[in-house]
Structure 1
Amino acid sequence: MAQGAKVGRTYDNRPSNIILPKSKTLSVQTIKKWKDALTLAQLPENANRKPLLELYDSILLDSHLASVIETRVLKIKQSKFKIVDASGKSNPELNKLFEQPWFNSFIFHAVNSKFKGTTVVELWDLNPETMGLANVNLIEPENVIPDKGLIVKENGDQTGYSYKEDPLKPYYIQIGKNKDLGILKDVAPDALTKKFAKASWSEFVEKYGIPPRWVTTDSYSESRENELADMMANMVSNHWAVLKGNEKIEVMNATGKDSYEIFDKLIDRMNSEMTKRVLGQDGTTDAGANGTYGSLKVMQDVSDDRHDADKTDVKDLINSDLFWRLQLISPVYTALKGYTFDWDDSKEMTADELVDKVCKLSTAGFEVDTKFITDKTGIPIIGLKQEQTTKLDPIEATQKKKSQNLTPVAFYKTKL
């Protein structure tokens, strides 16, 4: 079955190699194109996602949308994890198998599928030295037919490699259900509206950034009219003119607060709508947002809910689809048998917090591992400081002992 397949090296006949390389071009996208692309992608038979994926590539050029998406993706990539046995005990040595670039790529594709829809990744190349997985390859979504479980040579083909059946099944993971089109299908109208607003604003600035101006004259001389026309044409760089008689230059007042707000407010609203769809709220992403600490805390909790849901989905994906495949494609991962993946939610204390805890434990009579403290704080500890005692002269010692037995008043009189 799987273990006999040619996996771990690059073979010319592997499914990802049949996909023809092609250049991507960005075309002008409109609301109508979004509707048509959505219709094509949702056809019950022979659905075509390519137009919708092209639209996704276009709207992801929006810096705001890309940023809020990265907020969800990066938060998962930066989360701590652990590999645990049936009793819940972690094995730090197994963590090293996943502290690799390929695992970061896998996490990225797993979370990104929530936005782009059904995603298929390839687990094929092994590092010849360690025999561990070298990378995770993304299969171009337009070359995948999820309903049939096929990887095809070109978009539109109906025959190809079946990645849901043996012998290829262990080396391909489908992330998401067959019909998933991702969150981007919902935010696309807002992103396109914002793009149109920015284009219109740029056109407005081009036309009215330098206000329209004209000159009036009572001269009927054609030569004078030509002189005035040349004067107005050169006035952008010269900023002066020579006028005669009743000639007068007037400037149109086309820029004002209302003109500015027409575009800026619309862009702000579209940003807010996109952020709400991705993060559930927009209070933590808008620098100008007003609110009490309590209201902002509630908004942050809404974002955290999505973060927790993402972590749950990724954990389930790793345990149900990744672990058993890894154990088949390389003997390095056979150590994972009986273990599962989980997120490490333990709080990491700061150096100051750790020192404070150590002081309290020491005062309470507990002994603390100095090596642990050094590793966590970076402060080299060479041992415990011994309390120094000064030897007293026998006469001084006797006087000191007597003074300790006297009341404060008696001691004062004795000293006098």
Structure 2
Amino acid sequence: MSSRKVRSLARNRIELASKTTTAKGGSPGLVNQIVPVAMSRVRQDVLTWKTALTMAGKTEKPKRFLLMNLYDEINIDGLLRSQVGNRFLKSLACNFQITDKAGKLNEEVTNFLQDKIWVNEINKAILGTVTHGHSVVELDWIKKLNNVETTKPQLGAKLLKRQNIDPKEGIFYPDYRDDKGFAYREMREFGTWILEFGDPEDLGLMNCAVPHVLFKRFAQSCWSELCEIAGIPPRVMKTDTQNIAMLRRAERMMKEFGAAAWFIIDENEAFEFAEATKADGVVYESLMKFCNNELSMLFNGAVMGQDTKNGSRSKEASMQETLQTLVNSDLSLIEQYWNAVVIPALINIGIISGDCVFSYPETKDIAQLWSMTKEAMQKYEMDIEWMNSTFGLKILRPLQAATAPATNLSFGEGFFV
């Protein structure tokens, strides 16, 4: 089927779905009901974390907004973001396919879903259950894309703020500071326009990362204070403090010392640098390194990249294998939620139809496969079309065997004997 025909069928399907289905029965949607709340940027400590865990674990009306605010706060840590991205971006970059139950590829639906922004948002929400434990996504028809009016409505997917969700009781709070909410699982849009992922009891990997980020911030703060105190040796100026003129002149010279590193003093005055402290910050550096290693182990299963002192090629290769195992687990999680939750919802909305199975093509070790192919080429004829598609080659045809030049036998066969 041509790409033009596929795009035409996709547009027709969108138009039909938007005309025959009213998003959430005309309700304003959960996303639009969320009350904006300014986030306080005060210093976080272990007591804040324990208080948040206590609120999230209450038997009656548990609230997770303190814990989710803490997750957002620690998410600005550079190493934490890099480790999470190092793992999840691999899954988001993989191409998927839609097949029927017999395993036959459905090119129309695959091409239609492959480049959709809302598909990527759904996948990020599913992966978010690994870090945050739970995600709720709301689908809706949107008429603006990047603040630009669209000629035709397009499907959009928005993650409901986790601060406003109580997954244990299934309650949505428009204002998470208030106790007034309603059960989103009892809404008629649940399962079609409102999709839920994750375990309501799980708090995610971020909960394990909180103490390490907080301790690292503490060590970094103490180390920076040490640098401020002991990084530059203090300057000492001895003068007659009873003489106001000499005292003022000494103060002026000390203030201007950075711009003019010389001055003239009286014979009764003296200037020297005090001996700096012997502390070099090794304790703080060790604590920060420990916290970084724990974060890397938590999200990627190994200390990767940053340990350049003790690193080696074989060690990094084994770490990549460990990371790939986690990525394969994430891909399997996405497949399960798409087939159990997302595809039935898209069929009910009218986006897709028929038997659809979401899956990722089986990954191949290209290096090992090429090595096996080279060995097989010595004895067997290979499929040129398969080699071109598998290895990205452009083989046209086999080379003709070179013919040996004819031997001049005019002198007889025994001439060189």
Question: Shared topology, TM-score over 0.5?
Answer: yes
Query: Number of residues paired by the alignment?
Result: 393
Aligned-pair RMSD on alpha carbons?
3.7
- How far apart are residue 355 of structure 1 and its match? 12
Structure 2: distance between partners of 1:327 and 1:129: 24
CA distance in 2 between counterparts of 1:8 and 1:273 reads 45
Show CA shifts across 1:179-198 (max 9, x none): 22211111111101111222
Q: Structure 1 residues 85 and 262, CA, compared in 2 at 3 Å: closer, same or farther?
A: same
1:310 counterpart residue number: 330
Match 1:290 to one of 306, 310, 330 = 310
Superposed, 1:184-195 pairs within 5 Å as 184-195=206-217
Compute the displacement of 1:389 (Å).
Answer: 9.1
1:44 paired to 2:59: yes
Distance 1:276 1:360, change over 3 A: closer
After superposition, the Cα gap between the structure-2 partners of 1:265 and 1:359, relative to the gap in structure 1 and judged at 3 Å, is: closer
One-letter amino acid of the counterpart of residue 266, structure 1: L
Please, which runs of 5 or more residues in structure 2 have no aligned partner? 1-16, 144-149
Q: CA deviation at 1:68?
A: 0.4
Amino acid across the alignment from 2:342: L
Quick check: 1:253 aligned with 2:257?
A: no
1:29 to 19, 44, 51: 44
Deviation at 1:61? 0.8
Per the alignment, do residues 19 and 121 of structure 1 end up closer, same or farther by CA in structure 2, a change over 3 Å counting?
same
Structure 2 Cα separation of the partners of residues 380 and 72 of structure 1: 36
CA distance in 1, matches of 2:267, 2:20: 94
User: Which residue in the other structure is 1:412 paired with?
Assistant: 416
DSSP 3-state at the match of 1:17: helix
Could you tell me how far 1:303 is from its partner in structure 2? Answer: 2.3
Listed as ranges, the gaps of 5+ residues in structure 1 are: none
In 1, the alpha carbon distance for the partners of 2:281 and 2:366 equals: 48
**CA drift at 1:219:** 7.5
Question: Is the contact made by 1:9 and 1:126 (CA closer than 8 Å) also made in structure 2?
Answer: no
What is the aligned partner in structure 1 of residue 156 from structure 2? 135
**AA matched with 2:162:** P
Q: Which residue of 1 aligns with 2:340?
A: 320
- Judging by fraction of residues, say which structure has more strand: 2
Equivalent pair of 1:162/1:168 in contact (CA under 8 Å): yes
Amino acid at match of 2:416: Y
Rounded to whole Å, the distance in 2 between the matches of 1:315 and 1:376 is: 26
Check conservation: 2:21, 2:349, Cα contact below 8 A.
no
Within-5 A mapping of 1:72-111: 72-99=87-114, 100-111=116-127
Q: Which amino acid aligns with 2:358?
A: F
SS at match of 2:137: strand
- Over the matched positions of the two proteins, sequence identity in percent amounts to 23
Summarize deviations over 1:305-361 as a string: whole Å, max 9, x none: 32222222221111111111110011x3113x2x322221233859xx979959975
1:49–1:142 contact (8 Å) kept in structure 2:
yes
Q: Is the 8 A contact 2:384 2:395 kept in 1?
A: no
Distance in 1, matches of 2:123 and 2:206, equals 19
Q: Does the 8 A contact of 2:136 with 2:196 survive in 1?
A: yes
- Structure 2 counterpart SS, 1:181: coil
Deviation at 1:64, TM superposition (A): 0.5
Distance 1:196 1:4, change over 3 A: same
TM-score, length of structure 1 as denominator length = 0.80
Cα deviation, 1:208-230, whole Å, max 9, x if unaligned, reads: 44321111246853322332222
Quickly say closer, same or farther: Cα 1:219–1:167, change in 2 above 3 A: closer
Aligned 8 A contact 1:10 1:125 in 2: no
Counterpart residue number, 2:243:
221
Correspondence for 1:112 among 128, 137, 150:
128
2:357 corresponds in structure 1 to: 340
Work out whether residues 215 and 250 of structure 1, in 8 Å CA contact, stay in contact via their aligned partners in 2.
yes
Structure 2 counterpart SS, 1:281 = coil
Paired residues of 2:98 and 2:358 also in contact (CA < 8 A): yes
- Paired residue for 2:75, among 60, 65, 71? 60
Question: What is the TM-score of this pair, normalised by structure 2?
Answer: 0.80
Letter in 2 for 1:138: L
Q: Return the offset for 1:263.
A: 2.8
Greater radius of gyration (CA): 1
Matches within 5 A, 1:255-274: 258-274=279-295
Aligned to 1:160: 182
